[in-house]
Amino acid sequence: MKEENIEELERQFQEKIDNDIKIEPRDWMPDNYRKTLIRQISQHAHSEVVGMLPEGNWITRAPNLRRKAVLLAKVQDEAGHGLYLYSATETLGADREDTIDDLHDGTAKYSSIFNYPTLTWADMGAIGWLVDGAAIMNQVPLCRCSYGPYARAMVRICKEESFHQRQGFEIMTTLANGTPEQKAMAQDALNRFWWPALMMFGPNDADSPHTAQSMKWKIKRHTNDELRQQFVDVTVPQAELIGLTVPDPDLKWNEETGHYDFGPINWDEFWAVVNGNGPCNKERIDARRKAKEDGEWVREAANAYAAKKRTKKAS
């Protein structure tokens, strides 16, 4: 294609974006837009699927039947989210199995929060409340993402995430109102998950080189720091409400800005975990790899059986 043509196509593309017209799979799009989306959506899909593991860890030990059912339903929802999101990457020409292989060999990333262990039942509360809570902050704006299939998947996903957030907060509330042991368990979970939850919004804006382009393409609507601030502002009063203490000595309400000020994030820890050196990185990837390897004969059998059925029909 001639260069003027590409320029013209790019101009028309940006015009659509500026007018809030959704980009659909068959529409022309710049290569980088496609690549950025594939990277972002597949990371999101991997996060949903890897995220099943820390919570799946407590299903067989849930303290009563109601909590067990709610947790099962939640983890099942996360698998469903993974599935819609992998389908969304496929509309961009990515292959689901190739994308998953990228996760397994470490080329693709996922939300680093899932590399922290779930040590007590209270972690089910902390994850629902903080991790799904942070996911909602990140994802609600994505319902207006310029890429149609991603935006539509997010609408459905966000509804379920807000149910997850509520059940997590409900677990924390019950523990916080419980015995001293239960309250200590809840506080300990908050202590361990607070900072990793803040890290879920990604590096500070100054260290986030792709943000400007993503905002221009309306893949992203707010910067990392804006979303993180919004999360802190919403979550701190919730912690206060149930009598838990946010583990940040610098946290305080700022009358002037109308926001909470909070202490510095340990970015060394963030990068260490992103780069594979968190407490459970190896376990998580090993578990996903094992699921794929152990399932290989099942997938082969399903394909072989389907092929036999087709030949029978044809003959």
Binding site for other proteins (CB under 8 A): 49, 52-53, 56, 59-69, 72-73, 75-76, 79-80, 82-83, 86, 121, 171, 174-175, 178-179, 181-182, 287, 290-291, 294-302, 304-305, 308
Closest to other proteins by CB, 263 or 279: 279
The answer to whether 85 and 161 have CB atoms below 8 angstroms apart is no
Closest to other proteins by CB, 213 or 303: 303
Give, rounded to a whole angstrom, the gap between the first and last alpha carbons of the chain: 46
Largest CA distance in the chain: 78
Closest to Fe ion by CB, 81 or 220: 81
Residue 157 C-beta: closest distance to other proteins, Å: 14
> Measured between alpha carbons, how far is residue 195 from residues 31, 190, 201, 231, 299 in Å?
35, 9, 11, 12, 40
Q: How far apart are CA 130 and CA 121, in angstroms?
A: 15
Q: 19 is in the binding site of which of Fe ion, other proteins, none (Cβ under 5 to 8 A by kind)?
A: none
Q: 248 is in the binding site of which of other proteins, Fe ion, none (Cβ under 5 to 8 A by kind)?
A: none
Q: 297 is in the binding site of which of Fe ion, other proteins, none (Cβ under 5 to 8 A by kind)?
A: other proteins
Q: How far is CA 133 from the centre of its chain?
A: 10
Q: 81 is in the binding site of which of other proteins, Fe ion, none (Cβ under 5 to 8 A by kind)?
A: Fe ion
> What are the start-end ranges of the H helices in 65-143?
65-90, 96-104, 122-126, 133-139
Closest to other proteins by CB, 215 or 304: 304
Positions touching Fe ion (CB under 5 A) are: 48, 78, 81, 132, 135, 161, 164
Closest to Fe ion by CB, 17 or 51: 51
Q: 62 is in the binding site of which of other proteins, Fe ion, none (Cβ under 5 to 8 A by kind)?
A: other proteins
Residue 163 C-beta: closest distance to other proteins, Å: 15
Residue 120 C-beta: closest distance to other proteins, Å: 9
Q: At what angle do helices 148-176 and 65-90 cross, to 10 degrees?
A: 160
3-state SS class at 239 = helix
Burial of 175 (0-12, 13-18, 19+ CB in 10 A): buried
